[in-house]
Amino acid sequence: MAIVYHNIVETNMSAILTNMALFIGQKDERSELQRRVATELQDKLKKREELAKSPDLVEDSEYMKGTKKTTSLAFAWVAIVIAVIAIVIWLVATSLAR
């Protein structure tokens, strides 16, 4: 009975070793793929960093110095201007109608 048990253990060990070899081989292929993906991502990151470091010709130009960004009241100013234009057109139209 010990011989049969020993043969089963050896058979199981060879199957385990075969499966482990397949797993290790599979892991090596994945690691190669992971290396390629990692290098591609690093290259993309380097390109993005280079683009971020390059000067923006609009914001870095001389004529943009001393200017401010548009405030949240810009919509109100546009509405006021449109209202004034509408009133002027209405006044001109009513004065010509008489």
Q: What is the DSSP string of 10-73?
A: HHHHHHHHHHHHHHHHHHHHHHHHHHHHHHHHHHHHHHHHHHHHSPPTTTTSGGGTT-----TT
Average pLDDT over residues 4-10: 50
Q: Which tens digits make up the pLDDT trace of 19-78? A: 666 555 555 566 788 888 888 999 998 888 887 777 666 666 777 777 788 788 889 999
Rounded to two decimals, the pTM is 0.34
